[in-house]
Structure 1
Amino acid sequence: MSENIKDDILLRLKTIKGHIAGIEKMVEENKGCSDVLLQIAAVRSSLEKVGLSIINEHAQECLLSNEDGKISFEDMQSVVNLLVKFLK
């Protein structure tokens, strides 16, 4: 994984961590359900973006790093399996 991608993912995860702390505080302060759920949706969306970024990086490393430029069935299947697991 390139340093730029890694730094971006770590920054996003720290932001998500902050959002989760904010949600905890909202629950402690008895904020409205709609406000809490809106923040949960934002965290879920952020996590999906992080996951897709990681899948994209993995696919590039797995599929484009072959010396002969050919993509093996096993490599393609690995990427597809990872994507399916992520989307469940």
Structure 2
Amino acid sequence: MEIELAGAELKSVLNRLRRAQGQISGVIRMIEEGRDCEEVVTQLAAASRALDRAGFAIIATGLQQCMTEMEDGSRTTEDRDETRGRLEKLFLSLA
């Protein structure tokens, strides 16, 4: 199963991932500097949310594409069942 992200979707996902990357770098720096535990955990939680949102956006795009393919009949029932199982597994991995 290959998910194709359109320009706006791709930009949104990449922005979320870059935000998470910056937050993780900040968490590392905060730990190295011996910053307050509450501040570190707050930044770590923000990074986690950014990663979750990026993952959910990717899965939502995949679901949308699969639904479109199912409606236009370009997938067999077997393909649909396999794709559904894979998407369900991906979704649960983020839950």
SS, match of residue 22 in structure 1 = helix
Give the equivalent residue in structure 2 for 1:55: 59
The 5 A counterparts of 1:9-48 are: 9-48=13-52
Distance 2:54 2:88 in 1: 13
Quote the Cα distance in structure 1 between the aligned partners of 2:46 and 2:74.
39
Structure with more relative contact order (C-alpha pairs < 8 Å, separation 6 or more)? 2
What residue is the counterpart of 1:81 in the other structure?
86
CA RMSD of aligned residues (A): 2.2
* Superposed displacement of residue 86, structure 1: 4.0
2:86 aligned counterpart, secondary structure: helix
Once the two structures are aligned, what percentage of the paired residues are identical? 26
Does the 8 Å contact 1:63/1:76 carry over to 2? no
Shift, 1:12, TM fit? 1.1
Over 3 Å counting, the alpha-carbon distance change for 1:64 and 1:71 in structure 2 is farther
CA positional deviation for 1:81: 3.2
Task: Give the TM-score normalised by the residue count of structure 2.
Answer: 0.76
TM-score (norm 1): 0.81
Cα distance, 1:16 vs structure 2: 1.0
